[in-house]
Amino acid sequence: MPAEPLNPQAAATHRVPARRYGWVAMTLHWLLALMIVTSFSVGLSMSGLPFSPLRVKLFNWHKWAGITILGLMALRLLWRLSHPPPPLPACIAEAMPGWQLVAHRGTHLLLYLLLFAVPIAGWAYSSALGFPVVWLGLVPLPDFVPVDKDFAEAVLKPLHQGSALTLGTVVLLHAAAALKHHFVDHDGLMDRMWPFSHQGHAR
């Protein structure tokens, strides 16, 4: 007899093996997660400090982290274009309401856009203030925005801060959704990006 089709409601309560992301995608994902949390924390902690050697040091670390995130995102985008992500398992996709599927895809797209926009806006802000970005104190990067402190404070600073806060919010929503799938739905979705899962992974 043919097997009964999987009930979408049942899929939400059983862990289903799914094809996982490859090690390169996993490494870039978790490395970027660490860099984002670190850069965001440094940005928040330095914003209330008076001008001092510590503030200058944190400012430089923040810029270095932003450029590193930008470079890693470029690598991740190139990797993703040549290595499409594994599709959602049919049983999980069927069990998810339509709005969750839209949110799932929209969140990933927004994360990609913001992870480029935030460091680029920060780089432009630093250039417009007249502070060139020297990555790790070794590699000078070009200033693609002319020095204009009024423009920096009125436009680029709010753009950088606003996009960074939006990124932080989207990251929290992304993490909350992943934890909900793992601890509430028990559908194995998070295992696709968790490096310590015992399931097989893609190359």
Residue 168 sits in a domain whose CATH number is 1.20.950
Of 90, 113, 123, 125, nearest to 166 by C-alpha is: 113
Structure-token pair, residue 155: 């436009």
- The average pLDDT across 86-92 equals 82
pLDDT tens digits along 156-185: 999 999 999 999 999 999 999 889 888 887
* Domain total of the chain: 1
Domain assignment of residue 50, yes or no: yes
Residue 8 maps to a domain: no
Within a domain: residue 197? no
In a domain, 4, yes or no: no
| Higher per-residue confidence, 132 vs 186 | 132
Alpha-carbon dihedral angle through residues 20, 98, 176, 67, given to the nearest 10 degrees: 70
- Determine, yes or no, domain membership for 199: no
User: Among the listed ranges 36-50, 113-127, 147-161, which one has the minimum average pLDDT value?
Assistant: 36-50
- Average per-residue pLDDT for the chain: 86
Residue 6 in domain = no
Q: Give the C-alpha separation, 116 to 106, whole Å.
A: 16
Residue 192: DSSP 8-state: G
pLDDT at 199 over 90: no
Which helix H or strand E contains 159, and what residues bound it?
helix 157-180
The two tokens of residue 116 are: 């480029």
pTM score of the predicted model: 0.83
* Pairwise CA distance, residues 195 & 172, whole Å: 20
Residue 2 belongs to some domain of the structure: no
- 200 is a domain residue: no
The boundaries of the domain holding residue 57 are 14-192
Mean pLDDT of 95-112: 88
